Amino acid sequence: MHQQLTNLSDKELISRARKQKDREAEGVLMDRYSHLLVAVTLPYLNNNPNLDPNVVFPTVLQRLSASLKTQTIYKASEWILHIQKGYLGQSEKSTPFYPSRDGRDLLHIENKVEKATTNIIDQQDLAVRLDQALQRMSAEDRDLLTSFYLESKTFADISAAKGLTREIVRNQLKAAKGKLAKLFMNQGYV
C-alpha cells in the first residue's frame, strides 16, 4: 500500500488523509516534505541554542497533522513553511494557514470542475466560461490550445506545421495555458 501511495499527488494524499482519515497517506506526505522541514528549521535551531530539536520537530509535525485535517491546502510546501514559521516565530499563536491568492483561485476552479463532473448544468456553465476565456485570447494562442487539446495533435505535429522546434512549441503551449487560466479565473472578478 505504501508504494501505491508514494505515486499519488500531494492533492490526492491530502484528500485521503482528510476524508478517509488515512494516516499512511499523511505519513507519505510528511515523508515527502521532511527534507524541506529540516532544511528550513535548522537555521532557527543553529541561531537559538535554547530550542531543542527533540521538542521542535515533534511539535511542528503535530501541528502539521492537526492542520491537515482542518485547513485548505493548495501547495504543501507553502503550508509546511507557514506552520513552521508560525511555531518558531510565535509559539503561543496558532495562526491558520491561508493559501496565496493564486492558490485559492486555482483550488476554487479545481473544485468547480470536480463538482461539474456530476452536474450537467455546471458542465454547461464551465463550457461557456471556458469558451468566453478562449475568445479573449490571441488567435495564435487559441489555435495552439485547440490543436493540442481538442484536436489531439502532438508536439511533433504542431512543430512541423509551424516550423518551430518542439521545445518552443512546448513553451508556447505552457504560456498559453497560463494565460487561459488567468482569463478563466478573472472572469469571476470582472
Amino acid in position 83: I
**pLDDT tens, residue by residue, 148-174:** 888 888 888 999 998 999 999 999 988
**Fold designation for 102-186:** Arc Repressor Mutant, subunit A (1.10.10)
CA distance linking residue 116 with residue 104, whole number of Å: 18
**pLDDT tens, residue by residue, 93-135:** 455 555 566 666 666 676 677 777 778 888 888 888 888 888 9
The pLDDT of residue 190 is 42
pLDDT confidence tier of residue 139, bands split at 50, 70 and 90: very high
